[in-house]
Amino acid sequence: MLKVKNLSFAYEEKPVLKNLSFGIEKGENISIIGASGCGKSTLLQSIYGLHHVNGKIFWGDKQLLGPNFNIVPGEDFIKYLTQDFDLMPPLSVAENIGKYLSNAYPRKKQQRVNELLELVEMRELARVKAKFLSGGQQQRVALARALANPPEVLLLDEPFSHIDHFRKNKLRRNLFSYLKRTGVTVLVATHDSTDALAFADRTMVMKAGKIVALGPPQELYNNPKNVYVASLFSEVNELPVSLFLQNYPARKKVIFYPNEVKIIDSGMYKSVVRKCFFKGSHFLIEVEMDGQQILLENPTELRFGKTIHLDFNPNLLEKRIR
């Protein structure tokens, strides 16, 4: 189990991590999501041992110490994949992946390299030198190399940021299935809500160096603590409760995702279409209701100025008041 207790860190006088405490079970996949500068990358670096921090970090009963105690920062059982890849440009894809594998058993080494080439879909580029690869291809090689000697803990910092969208979806399905099957504990710092929703066992939401939410992704999505948490997963409507219920103070808001706002034939919530955005599987419609801009999803395009009637789930209304 990975345990973080009262972890704080500052660059000179600027606090970056502020008294973080949490635990992660062996084999768990934790996504860390939040706005740029919230401390996601610094948290991974601190766990790996690149910063001297206040607080304590344990893997099981072993305390993980930072650069003030280790000549070479980092732990042998932890792999940290940074955003700069750190490949050897003159070496081929296969040579980069196998660089830290033992040469004592060449057939076994080649089998392992081939397995990882298949995992990241780089078999056809095995002999190509790293310096000739695109950014996305380099990122896939770096992923494979991080797994060559299977770590107990894998720290991934925006691991799919350079990879084409059409390849990214299959790659992360394969990768996270492989990591779950092999029992690797994973922490993923990401801006991509798909990483945080579809593959994580739990999602950690950070803001300004603090953990503001931590739990199963479905729970965080369905019952967001505030509009900040909700906005990390989707477009979001934050509306005054007074639009729907009387006797609530003006500061009280209610949160609805666009897919939760429905169009009906008639009703009390009348609105006017202002904008329409094609999203592939649906249209994102912006409407105006009582001076409020509201986003909703609809299977077909709606013309500008069309009057429509909206429906808001009363059960969600009660749950989402903030």
Radius of gyration of the chain measured on its C-alpha atoms:
24
Q: How many domains does the chain have?
A: 2
Query: Which range of residues forms the domain containing residue 166?
Result: 2-230
pLDDT at 71: 79
- pLDDT at position 263, please? 97
Residue 142 and residue 6 share a domain: yes
* pTM of the complete model: 0.92
108-163 pLDDT tens trace? 999 999 999 999 999 999 999 999 999 999 999 999 999 999 999 999 999 999 99
Q: Answer yes or no: do 246 and 199 share one domain.
A: no
Residues 276 and 214 reside in one and the same domain: no
Averaging pLDDT over each range in 94-108, 160-174, 271-285, which range is the top one?
271-285
188, 209, 230 — which closes off a domain? 230
Task: Find out whether 273 and 264 touch, Cβ atoms under 8 Å.
Answer: no
| Residue 281 and residue 159 in one domain | no
Q: Do residues 79 and 110 both lie within one domain?
A: yes
- pLDDT confidence tier of residue 66, bands split at 50, 70 and 90: confident
- With beta carbons less than 8 A apart as the criterion, state whether 256 and 239 touch: yes
For 7, 8, 18, 36, 143, the CA distances from 14, given in Å and listed in that order, are: 15, 11, 11, 16, 32
269 vs 50: CA distance, rounded Å: 55
| pLDDT in the model for residue 76 | 86
Q: According to the model, what pLDDT value does residue 322 have?
A: 86
Q: Are residues 283 and 152 in the same domain?
A: no
Please check the confidence at residue 188 and state whether its pLDDT lies above 90. Answer: yes
Residue where a domain terminates, one of 181, 211, 230: 230
Are 219 and 239 found together in one domain?
no
**Confidence band (pLDDT; 50, 70, 90) for 9?**
very high
CATH number of the domain encompassing residue 141: 3.40.50.300
- At 23-39, the pLDDT tens digits run 999 999 999 999 999 99
